[in-house]
Amino acid sequence: MKRRASRAGTDPVAGLLRGILPMLFLTLLVVALAIPAGLAIAPAFHRPDSSAAAADTPAPWQQVPTRLSPPGGTGAGAVQPLSSSAPVPGPGALAAQLNDALKTDGAGAFTGVVQDAATGALLFDRAGDETRVPASNMKLLTAVSALRVLGPDRRFSTKVVAGSAPGSVVLTGGGDVLLGAGESAPDAVLGHAGLATLAKATVQALRHDGAAGTVSVQLDDSLFTGPSLNPAWSPDDVAAGETAPLFPLALNSARFDPASTTGPRPQDAAMGAAEAFSAQLATAAAAAGLTVAPGVERVPAPVPSGNARILAEVQSATVGQQVDLLLRTSDNFLAEVMGRMSALASGRPGSNDGAIATVLQQLGELGIPTETLHAADVSGLALANQVSARQLTEVVRAITSGPDPRLRAALAGFPVAALTGTLGDRYTDASTARGAGLVRAKTGTLNTVIALSGYVVDADGRLLVFSFIGNGLTPGAANKPALDRAASLLAGCGCR
């Protein structure tokens, strides 16, 4: 039976929220303005000093604003930092509500953990140290590793270098799998670097060198090593387009169409990108009196970096922007590439094993125990992954409140309930609407697995981190609402 990893489309919002959508987006804008304030006082989030609201009445900071305040404003309605003196939910009251919500529809069971982000205090624990299949929640580990090893401002270069044969150029992959076929789009993440821009710059360099006649195109995609497909992945998932063979360059995160995030993917994304570059090069070369030989061949061995004369290059969006995209859309291919690029930056081979070792090392350096954690990949598509809810909440806590400020770059990538990413079509009924626009969490979905890990400010103004994982579930059963109800309970909690 086919297993499906979580994906996002165009972020639809169901009918129940359509009437309040503009005001919800206004709320999000206020929250976005609040993030810099929260970062400035890391390692903890805090809330405005005000009295706690009743659980059935949204607190002032959760209500839809009547107007926007400019950044740095101090008047009424201005965004203010949260206070660390906000009440912490009582574990007993919280457990009573969550245990009632976390009931499976059919077979299987849920584990879960809720922690206070500022102190790490354990507020809810249902078999939280038991390792489970985490599905795409595995991407949280990969995101943290990438931000620590690569840094949020790092960019990947796709280069064209002079080949060893006269008149040859070599397209060299450097880890950017979000290439666009057209001109570079500076304000975009997908398509930030464009092959048409790279081709024009290459022709300019060739003309400067006095090139004449025919130009041949070669491909160097040797940056990654080891199998391009993980043996732990189901062939059915690969055929369905949940992922694809991994290469250090690709168009549209190995998608035929940048507007489509479903369906089969190209099985040789690097060659597809090289052929698109060759076509763009032919167009640009014609205006310069040059011709481009048909076809692209892989170079038998990469040009030594010290001897490669760079003719042109384009750079990707930042790692921080790519992490945002991979979390929001739950892109397995992009996550695996980010894992391999992190491995290379840490001095390991750009392979699956190198990516896993790098992730585990980074978690260990953050003080997150990994003795019981088993990783078979870094995207969460493999059923052999084993991670506990406690380990996941510690990762989320490191992002929201930990001592490493580089991890804050992952905050915006968490999908927002009922609004963005893989949560865009959830939290739309009466039992979960309390969390709409407030819960931010990474989803995970396989046939018998669902997971939800993220953060929320409760009605008393306390930042909570949480992870709920269901394993052994009945395929197709209605289990996502249980996790959404649990997270919505946290958003409305005045649990004292």
Enzyme catalytic residues: 136, 139, 330
What Rg value do the Cα atoms of the chain yield, rounded?
24
Q: Which residues share a beta bridge with 168?
A: 216
CA distances from 157 to 173, 252, 267, 464 (A): 8, 16, 22, 38
Query: Cβ(63)–Cβ(55) under 8 Å?
Result: no
Could you tell me where the DSSP H helices lie in 90-136? 91-101
Q: What would the two tokens of residue 27 be?
A: 């709320």
Q: Measured between alpha carbons, how far is 280 from 215 in angstroms, rounded to an integer?
A: 13
Query: Cβ(113)–Cβ(426) under 8 Å?
Result: no
In sequence order, which residues have a C-beta less than 8 Å from that of residue 283 and are 6 or more positions away?
A: 196, 199
Q: Measured between alpha carbons, how far is 445 from 396 in angstroms, rounded to an integer?
A: 18
CA distances from 276 to 155, 224, 272 (A): 22, 21, 6
Place of tokens 């092959």: 195
Query: Cβ(136)–Cβ(387) under 8 Å?
Result: no
Q: What is the residue type of 211? A: A
